[in-house]
Amino acid sequence: MKVKDIMTSEIYSINKQENIARAAQIMRESDIGALPVTDGERIVGVLTDRDIAVRNVAMQHNPEIPVEEVMTANIINCSPETTVEEASDLMAKYQVRRLPVIENGNLVGMVSLGDLATESRTDEEAGYTLSQVSLDEER
């Protein structure tokens, strides 16, 4: 099975110059935990709810600072043709819960642990990936 078969195609994103407060509003309104960060059409990072909590709120930074100051710039991603097993391995290796799906340089979707878990054939991969991602959080 391929990532394109289980990914979420309705993607919310935010420009790197928008502020943290706006990003948090989008996350709340859309019930999501991560936003791809763009510079025009190009994805330049990912901002997660954890990034906001750890790199902004915990550091007592102003919520009006640009998301580019808090985002994760090292983008671990996959393509629509990546197998679910390969995506699961990437998530476990890099301890991330979500992967942007990029095709021809364009963001076309997101795949998350939740996407893996909703597909019955990938329950085992989702469980394994979650256990590997959670290892880092326990340290």
Confidence of residue 48 (pLDDT cuts 50, 70, 90): very high
Q: Which of the four pLDDT bands, split at 50, 70 and 90, describes residue 9?
A: very high
Residue spans per domain, the chain: 3-138
DSSP SS3 for 34: strand
Residues forming a β-bridge with 29: none
Whether pLDDT at 120 is above 90? no
Q: Are 36 and 43 in contact (CB under 8 A)?
A: yes
pTM to 2 decimals? Answer: 0.78
What kind of fold does domain 3-138 have according to CATH?
CBS-domain (3.10.580)
The beta strands (E) that lie in the chain are given as 14-15, 34-39, 42-48, 98-103, 106-112
Strand-pair category, 14-15 with 34-39: parallel
